[in-house]
Structure 1
Amino acid sequence: MDNSIQVLSDKTWLIASKNTWIEGLAIQQLLTTANLPNMVKVMGMPDLHPGKGYPIGAAYLSREIIYPALIGSDIGCGMGFWQTDINLAKLSIDKLEKQIGNIDLPDTRHKYNLGTIGGGNHFAEIQKVSKIFDATLFNQYQLNAKKLFLLVHSGSRGLGHAILQNNAVAFARLNRQVVAERLMTNLNTQGHEVLNVCHNFLQKVTIDKQSYWLHRKGASSAMDELVIVPGSRGDYSYLVKPIQRDDLLMSLAHGAGRKWRRADCKGKLDNRYSMQELKRTKLGSRVICEDNSLIFEEAPQAYKSIDSVIESMQQANIVTVIAQLTPILNYKTQGGH
């Protein structure tokens, strides 16, 4: 068996290499979830971390019973990734920061704030390609490393809280598209959508001719053609091609995964960094965020290393890494909704 795949119980598996830090509480929650009625198998990803009763960063396979709590209220949350026309050779971060504007004041005709990013760990980020690992796949999808990319992480906004059915998945995908269109308009560029995938949703699947319900809470689908796995705002993102494995519940990690609870972040960082210092990262990128709480709660130090997450998935043979992307400008909020 691959050395990053751990069997914790007859129903509980975990993908984590020796370099991947997993909090004990998250593992306890995973084991507890495996004991729910009609639960067939639970699969923790390398970004596993504790949630409210059930962990985030996992896939859950049940028979006959659906568990809404294993998807959460932000139904359809996921990642959209666009190739823009902005030339890397003419890059000016000062110009981008001035151009990016404010998309936090939505069209008030829509009560669910369509076209806005939201709080928590949601963001939009301008990125550049820093490494290409698989040139054949990179070129196959007609990607251009001389142009910048736009990554949008958002969900179904207020709609996910109002309903618990999968109409929210379509809304969440549309929300990422509208966010990208508004930002590209502000940046005076055009682009094309490379991928738009979810990591909080329910799917009916057939395994060995048996029908099951597959819940994903912070887990991307390996059934998608391409997936992007982002790190924190001060870390790399990776474009990957999934390798589907039924025994690993056809799922991938959705990001780096939290290392610290949000409530602990300000106390750990307040005496070490100023607000302005937290708006710059070790990779040279900048952060646009006018919410003082989010600056601390979403600091790079609060997250695991994305490289350890990618390493775990490579050892489990569930991804082919295509490219590494470096953040340039991370947009969270200019103020507003």
Structure 2
Amino acid sequence: MFSPEEIANLLTVLCLLVGLRLTNRLGTLAFWVFLGRTAMVFLTNDVLFPVSYMPDQLGYVRCANMRRGGDAEWCMALAGVNVLNASWFFTLFPLPYIYSVRSTSLMNLTLIVCLYVYLNRQGFLSERSQLFYLFYPSFVLYAAIGGRDVLIMVCMFMAIYNLIEKRNVFLGLLWVLPLFMIKLQNAMMVLVPFAMSLIAGKSKSRMILAIVLGGVFALVMLLGVGFLADLNKYRKSFYAEDGGVGEVPLLSSGVILPFELLSGAIGVMLMPLPWQAGKAFQLVQSIENLVMMGLMVSFWRRQAKPGMENIFLNLKIFMVSSMMIYGAVVFNYGTAARYRFPFVLLFILFADRLTLPPKQKT
């Protein structure tokens, strides 16, 4: 049975969906899909899998409760800085109660509904990208839990949209600010392509210069500043936490390093491969990975719209460089899926907007 607080939260979300439908801000298909995704909130947590399977959810609930006047003991004693910072989002979110993980999950759902409505009103989503937004399986799953992943995805999306496409630097940097507080590396992943776009503009020659400077910057950070040592430290830590046996090979500082990073990027996009799947859920996930990789390759090969060539190239660099970083440190299949889905979603939606559709064969 559900608590009165959870029922009140559910009714609030349902009233929002009905209101958006009655005012024609949601189409019929989107309305019914988001109703189904609302039901997913109650079919995932402690039904399909226990909340403890993704224990960080509990931290956000406890700390948000503390900020709304609840018990402060656990949060102040055990919560990390990122959990404390992310909990502010859930604390201030206009949903009546924070009772359980389902409360924060409904907040995430509300956020993705609002993003969908905003993007539609901006004319950003095509019919194809609308369907992808509504039905992308990993997005459906991880938006139905009470983690910070949806907040990170929305901040990244809005930052890239404002910084690189709309050229609204002030608003874009405002969206980057929460990333500095809840996931620093993602903030840097957004700012690097923004810096490259500032250098390049629409000039192909300046884009080549931006790529060279970006490569030099990456090498300096990895080898000169010592970022490679930090990357290896996190690599060993994640490997141990994920139950790895023995010592994980460290990234080298030689000429083989780019190939190691590229291999890791491909690996994190595809893990688990079908023969690595030990459970039915992992097998389904591996099939999804192959389909998503094929879809991304098809968009990758498309021709950019006139004037969008540099932005599309920047999007590709953003995707590859981000996956290189995560590929170097992530070994757990579930962690890979949670880290991967925001980037896949961003790449497909932006690539669909920036490129010409493939020519129809006659």
Normalised to the residue count of structure 1, the TM-score between the two structures is 0.26
More helix by share: 2
More strand by share: 1
Normalised to the residue count of structure 2, the TM-score between the two structures is 0.25
User: Whose relative contact order is higher, 1 or 2, with alpha carbons under 8 Å and at least 6 apart?
Assistant: 1
